[in-house]
Amino acid sequence: MKVDVLLGLQWGDEGKGKVVDVLTPHYDIIGRFQGGPNAGHTLEFDGQKHVLHTIPSGIFHDDTLNVVGNGVVIDPIIFNREIDGLLKHEVSINDKLLISRKAHLILPTHRLLDAASEQAKGKKKIGSTLKGIGPTYMDKTGRNGLRVGDIESEDFDKKYNALREKHLQILSGFDFEYDLEPMEKEWMDAIERFRSYPLVDSEHFINNNLQAGKKILAEGAQGTLLDIDFGSYPFVTSSNTITAGACTGLGIAPGKIGEVYGIFKAYCTRVGSGPFPTELHDEEGEAIRKAGHEFGATTGRPRRCGWLDLPALKYAIMINGVTQLIMTKADVLSEFDEIKVCTAYKYRGEVIDYLPYDVLAEDLEPIFESRAGWKKDLTKLGSIEEIPAELDDYITYLESELKTPITIVSVGPDRTQTLTRTVASV
Ligand code: GDP
Ligand code: IMO
Ligand code: MG
């Protein structure tokens, strides 16, 4: 058996949560491998909307186990809130949610450091979600971090205090005001509750289950263009959001990776700062934002909107080894007469079909091709055979450009609004 991976190919919010939920009945285990509460994964079914931040999106299915892997960073306060949200909907979690001992903890002072750093950057800020993600991963790679397994240790308070002191020292170098006490009280209370959750050595758990023939899906957070190595650095998150991240974030050997589902919106969005070559600053962008309800699931911030960027998508497919594509939010483009796609860029007097090193270059200009819009409501379609000819053309065009089959087309936020395509070969 191999582990399949589902991850975002753009700047996040591609609809990962929705599609993982749809695919969960085919899997025994869903595992998150990186990121933390910066993620906001939305699921909709039975007229209810749920947003998950740290908990894998398989949690609503009774027969599937959910693992928070070692590559994830956890804020116990947010984690408990998520659990409460699930309990309110009578979702049982006791026997189907496991947390890696090697996952790192986000401390209150990590959140303060995130905010202080963003404030100090001023106009150059990353637009972080302010959940403490960057500072927590910095402590992980700096070998100072506090891990979930440490809560089982007698030295936990000592370790916490040592890290806290270190953070306070760094904070004293910022012109930044804070009131740590109430934050810390809430965090310590959250940790007490956290002690009741089942912890696991997740790399053993995952590999033992693989060997036993269980089917596992790794759920990515953020997107490839936010990857710490391959994203639009420095406007990225602090983890590897790509397929390789599933290996390090769950303990899976590279040869054990199976299908790689790459998910993308039929257009592009980005929340936070940083380059976005196809961004629309006009009423077309506003129209996409409105039709797609493009506001952040974690921060509520309006998402920047633009047309699909093929060079960027090709890059993401290459880096991840994508074997199947999933296109979401096709329904959002139903009102447009024409759909634009960026096929190349003009850059320093030349036409290029790749993202240059200098992603902040002012003179990177997208070259668009126009395609006919479908101008039909897609949200009530029952099968892929019913899609309008123009959408079918759009899909076949993208498949031939991207040299990868599009096997799922999502046409609405609900579980049921999902069309599967059988593709022989591309
Ligand atoms: P994630 O972070 O990748 O899980 O995506 P988010 O949940 O942050 O953002 C995706 C948003 O689009 C959510 O509000 C989803 O409910 C919604 N969504 C997902 N797929 C579709 C789709 O095909 N059409 C429409 N209209 N909305 C969708
Ligand atoms: P999901 O999993 C969209 C963005 C932030 C910011 C940058 C760094 O829902 O797709 P961070 O808090 O990670 O230090 O912020 O990354 N960002 C996301 N954008 N979707 C996400 O997650 C994101 N997680 C982080 O807006 O620009
Ligand atoms: Mg999201």
pLDDT digits (tens, 9 = 90+) for 316-369: 999 999 999 999 999 999 999 999 999 999 998 999 999 888 877 778 999 999
Ligand 1 atom with least separation from CA of 412:
24
Q: Could you report the per-residue pLDDT of 382-401, keeping only the tens digit for each?
A: 999 999 999 999 999 999 99
Atom 25 in ligand 2: residue holding the nearest Cα: 38
pLDDT (0 to 100) of residue 363:
82
Per-position DSSP letters for 305-322, written without gaps between them: EE-EEHHHHHHHHHHHT-
Q: Report CA(295)–ligand 3 centroid distance (Å).
A: 9
Atom 13 in ligand 2: residue holding the nearest Cα: 237
Give yes or no for residue 53 CB within 6 A of ligand 2: no
Cis (ω within 30 of 0) for the bond into 234? Answer: yes
Atom 21 in ligand 2: residue holding the nearest Cα: 222
Q: What global pTM score does this model have?
A: 0.97
Do 406 and 421 contact (CB within 8 A), yes or no? yes
pLDDT (0 to 100) of residue 103:
98
CB neighbour list of residue 389: distance below 8 Å, 6 or more residues apart: 374
Atom 16 in ligand 1: residue holding the nearest Cα: 413
Give the Cβ contact number of residue 364 at 10 Å.
Answer: 17
Catalytically active residues, by annotation: 13, 41
The rounded distance, in Å, linking the Cα atoms of 416 and 2 is: 27
Give yes or no for residue 127 CB within 6 A of ligand 2: yes
pLDDT (0 to 100) of residue 425:
53
* Candidate of 19, 82, 232, 237 to mutate for ligand 2, largest count of ligand atoms within 8 Å of Cβ: 237
pLDDT (0 to 100) of residue 31:
98
pLDDT (0 to 100) of residue 296:
83
Type of residue at 370: S
Give yes or no for residue 17 CB within 6 A of ligand 1: yes
Ligand 1 atom with least separation from CA of 44:
16
Atom 26 in ligand 1: residue holding the nearest Cα: 412
Ligand 2 atom with least separation from CA of 223:
10
The rounded distance, in Å, linking the Cα atoms of 71 and 253 is: 14
* Candidate of 138, 222, 269 to mutate for ligand 2, largest count of ligand atoms within 8 Å of Cβ: 222
Give yes or no for residue 13 CB within 6 A of ligand 1: yes
Low-confidence ranges of the chain (pLDDT < 50): none
Residues around the ion ligand 3 (C-beta < 5 A): 13, 40, 297
Ligand 2 atom with least separation from CA of 38:
24
Please report where in the chains the tokens 């609809």 appear, as a residue: 15
Atom 11 in ligand 2: residue holding the nearest Cα: 128
Give yes or no for residue 129 CB within 6 A of ligand 1: no
Alpha carbons within 13 A on the beta-carbon side of 108 = 20
CB neighbour list of residue 336: distance below 8 Å, 6 or more residues apart: 284, 287, 373, 375
The rounded distance, in Å, linking the Cα atoms of 77 and 81 is: 6
Q: Could you report the per-residue pLDDT of 138-179, keeping only the tens digit for each?
A: 999 999 999 999 999 999 999 999 999 999 999 999 999 999
pLDDT (0 to 100) of residue 424:
61
